[in-house]
Amino acid sequence: MRHRGQTKLASIYLVCILLTIITLFPIYWMVIISMRSKLEIFAGPKLYQTSIFIDNYYRPLFKDIYGKFLINSLIIATGNTGLVLLLAMFASYAFSRFRIFGSGTLFFWTITNRMAPPAAFILPFFLIFTKIRLIDTHIGLILLYCIFNLPFAIWLLKGMIDVIPKELDEVAAIDGCSILGTIWHVILPVAKPGLAVTAMMIWIFSWNEYLFASIMTSMKARTITTGLAEFVTIIGTNWGEMAAVSVVCLLPAVIFLGYIQKYIITGLTFGAVKE
Amino acid sequence: MVFTGVGNFRKLMFDPDFMHSLRIGLTFVAITCVTEMFLGLAIALLLTNEFVGKGVFRTVLALPLAVAPITIGSIWVLMTNPDVGPLPYLLQKIGLNYNIGVNATQAFLTIVIMDIWHWTPFVTLTLLAGLTSFPREPFEAARVDGANKLQILRHITLPLLTPVILTMLFIRIMDTFRIFDEIWMLTSGGPGTATRSVSIHVVRLILTSTDYGYGSAMSVFLLYLTIVMCWLLLNIISVVRKETRET
């Protein structure tokens, strides 16, 4: 019996290691390509790398335009996160505490907003944005990302505020707190951890977005993902630099992963599956 | 501006290019979703066993979910490009000429594999979350009654897991249907029209032509198709959920 248990454990580890290699190898490959000079890349595929060719990172980010794209991405993702959190905080409080017309359809609203193909929206938005001169502005993208981030944030935050007992609100009301005061002094401190996770996920969604950014911007507000997509050219691609910019694109995901990992399934399935 | 009535929609229905992209999109959805479900379920069942390092493995699995889709595309460009990629190099050694810029079948298979690589972890982690939330009693009762592992899987685990599997399938179908970034980065819909799924087709049309009326008609059609699919799938899920609750 004991022997059988050990064989089973060994086979589990074997499968896990295999799956880890399959999952991580493409990412690992990107990282080592980003450390190679042109000559090293064309010398043929080697599985390891000992030296680092820093120019791949330095040239696009500090000499070329990609540094600016990076700053644009940071501005837009952070601005969008701030705006969405501010609006979603009030909205989800209202949805959670008061009876509002249409609150029953909130789930369907959330789900259709995330499920609809963005490709179906770009033409109308392009025409509207051209009319009101929001094309190629930071504020335009910040507003646009609310479409998919706001329902998501409201849905996630509502679940978190729902579990805060109503008695707390009532106590605050008796002590003379207004609704705004209640949100600030009672709800915010309790919901802080959930709020932080929501913020990180929204931030990552904004950072990761490509299609809208590529259509709605041309130069001033171009984001890093759009810049990355333009790397492959007909006259030849600088693979090392492309890999380096990809690594930069990847970094936020790696940094935030530890915090959001527990909630990522709940978030991506709209709370249908909880961990 | 000329009012054309339903002219644009009539044109859409008889547009071989659009129908071709719809067919590619749906084939892609069918293959990837089914494969991801089976693989995800198998890995999730494996992970229900407790072992040291499970947490680390789950973090590894969660990584592709947080990465930007466009970066996923770029990662696979670096994997498959004949100049830098290890895949063409390895396949060359076993005598297979691999070039997704030329070979249509290989290009389509590559985007399928890329999607499976990207999203199987998501299916795994979700099914695992479902599996760990089950009550213990039915399993213990079955074991006392002398049921073997396969019987437990067939008669207890899978029926209990059905709602989660269906929800997952719903999310995956909608997500794969609207996929854009990864394919755009990897193949841009090429070679020819081999990987031109619906979203790619719409964006290409909008970028290259100024026929906004036709583009809008296509967008509206796509939107309605999504809403109908959403509604259908949600209904199926709620019906099955009711049935599993009753039995």
Structural domain for B155, as ranges: 7-48+74-246
Share of chain A above pLDDT 90, in %: 17
B64 contacts in A (CB within 8 Å)? 23
> Does CATH place domain A57-268 in 1.10.3720.10?
yes
Contact A260 B75 (CB under 8 A): no
Contact A23 B117 (CB under 8 A): yes
Pick the residue of B67, B128, B228 with the most A CBs within 10 A to test the interface with A by mutation.
B67
> How large is the ipTM?
0.86
Tell me whether residue B64 is in a domain: no
Tell me whether residue B63 is in a domain: no
B57 contacts in A (CB within 8 Å)? 16, 19-20
Tell me whether residue B56 is in a domain: no
Asked if the model's pLDDT at residue A151 lies above 60, the reply is: yes
Whether residue A58 lies within 8 A of chain B, CB to CB, comes out as no
A44/chain B closest Cα distance in angstroms: 7
How many separate domains does chain B show?
Answer: 1
- Of residues A112 and A37, the one with the higher pLDDT is A37
B166/chain A closest Cα distance in angstroms: 11
Nearest CA in chain B to A13: B51
Q: Where are the domains of chain A?
A: 2-33, 57-268
Tell me whether residue B59 is in a domain: no
Please write the tens of the pLDDT for every residue from B53-94: 888 888 888 888 888 999 999 999 988 888 888 888 888 888
Nearest to B87 by CA among B104, B109, B71: B109
Residues 179-218 of A with CB under 8 A from B: 204, 207-208, 210-211, 215
Whether residue A3 lies within 8 A of chain B, CB to CB, comes out as no
Tell me whether residue B57 is in a domain: no
Supply the pLDDT for residue A71: 92
Average pLDDT, chain B: 85
Write the CATH number for B200.
Answer: 1.10.3720.10
Share of chain B above pLDDT 70, in %: 97
A263/chain B closest Cα distance in angstroms: 11
The answer to whether the beta carbons of residues A263 and B65 sit under 8 Å apart is no
A86/chain B closest Cα distance in angstroms: 23
User: What's the whole-model pTM score?
Assistant: 0.87
A256 contacts in B (CB within 8 Å)? 66
DSSP string, chain A: -HHHHHHHHHHHHHHHHHHHHHHHHHHHHHHHHTT--HHHHHT---S---S--THHHHIIIIISTHHHHHHHHHHHHHHHHHHHHHHHHHHHHHHHHS--TTGGGHHHHHHHHHHS-GGGTHHHHHHHHHHTT-TT-HHHHHHHHHHHHHHHHHHHHHHHHHTS-HHHHHHHHHTT--HHHHIIIIIHHHHHHHHHHHHHHHHHHHHH--HHHHHH-SSTT--HHHHHHT---TT---HHHHHHHHHHHHHHHHHHHHHHHHHHHHHHTTTSS--
Please write the tens of the pLDDT for every residue from A64-74: 888 899 999 99
A249 contacts in B (CB within 8 Å)? 68, 70-71, 74
